[in-house]
Chains A and B, each alone.
Chain A
Amino acid sequence: MIFQPAIIALLLAAGLSLAMLATASPFAVQLIRHWDLGSGSERQLRLERLTYLFSMMVALVCGLQVLSTLLFVFNADKMSVMFVGAMCAVGALNANAYGFPALYAQLALFFFASTWLAINRLDNQARDYPLTRLKYVLLLAYAPLAALVLYLQFNYFIRLEADVITSCCGSMFSEEADTVASEVSAMAPRQAIALFYAGLGAAVLLALWHWRGAGRRVWSGLAVGASSVVAFFAALMGIVAFVSLYIYEHPHHHCPFCILKPEYDYQGYLLYIPLFAAAAAGLAAGVLTLFARRPSLATLAPQASARLAGIAAAGFALFLVVASFMVLSSNLILLE
């Protein structure tokens, strides 16, 4: 199934990301070994210039990850007609063992890239570039992750076999044996609702608190980071367990992808865009507070962290409002 336009596009994007990171890696090693801002040597000047190129590259890779995540889900949804038993993206992703791991790796890559960009931005604001070494150590970790994404996606796509009519003479009635699981398992709605509102509410409050405190408290920053991760998973679980049910107005349709489709007025975007933005910002807010102890970042890091916490609070709150509105305006009665 490799000759499908969207698949070629996805592999192209993953390959290009990996190629860019791989070319950057040798320079990153050089930079980690020889970076010395006090020196005015030829090499140091060259390295300083190269940092611009790398931040551009990672920004591009980050943008590319957003696009490919969307494309990946879209494509899985479109491919679902090709498999017996698959009704939507979940079925297509379940068509072999690599589907969901590829999606998860893709998401991990996205969050990694967004955090890197936040660190990069902070580093560029300080006069002595205190985080440069760390940035490039992270870049070295980034390349294997990109390789993993490419590996998983390639394996997923190459192992897909559509159930199509292959012969015009034999009996080709596709056998039932390889049915595809089309459903996502989900929690009981009552528990899920409790967890959903608790997790997201805590994340909003913590982020607001950190923002009000101008990001000066290190541990509140860390709490924002941790709670963002928890809230992100709570939100995804909530979407699977009950929000999607209310959107579809169907008590057994748990798919987190179908809400992106035109049949449901693209409502999923209203949920996922604030959610992903908030989770990325919250995670970065947590990571940035770690650098407040460095002298040149003593004021910059808390500032940046507080701003990101503000974005996270707004994003999670927006997500909560949108999700609650969808639940309340639905005709489905899930809980008596």
Chain B
Amino acid sequence: MNRWIEKQRHLIDFTASSLARRKGKSLGLLVVYTLLVFVLASVSLYTHALRNEATRVLAGTPEVVLQRLIAGRHDLIPPGYIEKIGRVRGVQKIEGRLWGYYYDSVLKANYTFMVPNDRRIPEGEIVVGPALERSRGLAEGNGISFRAYSGELHTFIVSEVLAHESELVNADLVLMSEPDFRRFFAYPDGHYTDIALWVANPQEVRNVGLKLINALPDSRPILREEVLRTYASIFDWREGMMLALLSAAILAFGIFAWEKAAGLSAEEKREIGILKAIGWETGDVIAMKFWEGFLVSLLAFLLGYVIAYIHVFHFEFALFAPVLQGWAVLYPSFALTPKIDGLQVATLFVFSVLPYTAATLVPIWRAATTDPDTVMRG
């Protein structure tokens, strides 16, 4: 065993020095290889982080949201509806929620107006999200007027700006008191936008959903797990599409690697010829070439991955963000939580190292099986 390790050590040593001797060629391959890993790793790191962020954000939301439908469209919850649900076993809390959208013609953007259930906001005051603070230049104590859909002008005092840390969810949020909300939108008394239900046991959620459908046939329960699943598959799909588009690049890289490996310079050929003449076996030359590929792959993979990590988590994925994150006027600016996962790295490995290895297989074999006298004479 020790002899085997010793032999491999010498082979690696020889390979590293031979790579260093052919700097230009090795560097060219390394740059292209690193670039490929960088692009692929950026995409997968980013979508993975987004997926995590979505899971984190949704973790605090109610397990079931109940909407009422009329002719397939979302309608207000009429008075007495919540009472009709009554006590469903397993439900910890039922709450009617009030929220809506408001189009601001100054910014040409939509805000989300909402009445929070977990805090009291005095009448005439509002709490705004960070994107609003930025785009309308608001600060605590400022006044702001919105023109309601009825045409009246309503003025509010900003009592607080929400924390930047949770900007992904609260960027365009405006929180206000219930009387203000009802007055502003001329919302009928006793009506709600939808109903939120908190269920303690995750395995009961589906039963609760079924009971709701039976009790209120005109309603539509939306489960948190369904929303999560949908987000996950959207992000996966986007990442997959991006990778499918990049498959052309992977193919091109494979061809490039093949060319690089096949186009042995006269000097390299002579080198192999001399090695074989002084007693190297075909197997040794193959082992040397294997180590060469391994070293280049490892270096490119590490470099590409690290650069991608910096790109995604320190430069906010500046190069490809428009493709993957979607679009909005009041786009939240957010930093993602760095996260690396094994499946992702293994997938990336298949997409980058595998094509390289497969493409260099035949050229390596061809180089290793050449006769010493043919190369040295030719």
Contacts and interface: CB of A to CB of B under 8 A. Distances in A.
A interacts with B: yes
A164 B228 CA distance: 9
Give the interface residue-count category, chain B: 35 or more
Contacts of A56: 286, 361, 364-365
Interface of A: 1-10, 12-13, 16, 20, 49, 52-53, 56-57, 60, 64, 67-68, 70-71, 74-75, 78, 81-82, 84, 124, 162-165, 169-174, 176
Interface in B94-115: none
B365 A71 contact: no
Given A5-B351, A60-B358, A163-B229, 6 more contacts: A3-B236, A4-B240, A52-B369, A53-B361, A162-B229, A173-B222
B20 interface: no
A82 B223 contact: no
B149 to A, nearest CB: 23
A64 B354 contact: yes
A2 to B, nearest CB: 8
B346 A3 contact: no
Contacts of A10: 350
A308 to B, nearest CB: 14
B129 interface: no
Which has the most chain B C-beta neighbours within 10 Å: A2, A12, A64, A75?
Answer: A12
A67 B346 CA distance: 8
A44 B240 CA distance: 47
A171 B219 CA distance: 8
A53 B367 CA distance: 11
Chain B interface SS verdict (over half): helix
Nearest to B285: A52
A176 B365 contact: no
Nearest to A170: B72
B227 A165 contact: yes
A176 B364 CA distance: 55
Nearest to B74: A169
B230 A164 contact: yes
B31 to A, nearest CB: 24
A186 B138 CA distance: 63
Contacts of B342: 74
Nearest to B232: A81
B243 interface: yes
B44 interface: yes
B237 interface: yes
Interface in B220-245: 220-223, 225-230, 232-233, 236-237, 239-241, 243-244
B127 to A, nearest CB: 29
Contacts of B362: 53
Contacts of B222: 165, 173
A75 B243 CA distance: 17
A30 to B, nearest CB: 17
A52 B213 contact: no
B232 A6 contact: no
A169 B358 CA distance: 48
B236 A5 contact: yes
B354 A12 contact: yes
A162 B73 contact: no
B210 interface: yes
B357 interface: yes
B354 A164 contact: no
Nearest to B290: A56
Nearest to B342: A74
B69 interface: yes
Interface string B327-363: 0000000000000001110110111001001100110
B347 A71 contact: yes
A13 B349 CA distance: 11
B236 A13 contact: no
Nearest to A71: B346
B282 interface: yes
Given A171-B69, A173-B221, A81 B229 contact: yes
A329 to B, nearest CB: 25
B72 A169 contact: yes
A1 B239 CA distance: 12
Interface in B274-305: 282-283, 286
A174 to B, nearest CB: 7
A165 B230 contact: yes
26 contacts: A3-B240, A3-B241, A3-B244, A7-B240, A8-B240, A13-B354, A52-B365, A52-B368, A57-B361, A60-B358, A74-B342, A74-B346, A82-B232, A84-B206, A124-B283, A164-B229, A164-B233, A169-B69, A169-B72, A170-B72, A172-B226, A173-B209, A173-B222, A173-B226, A176-B206, A176-B210
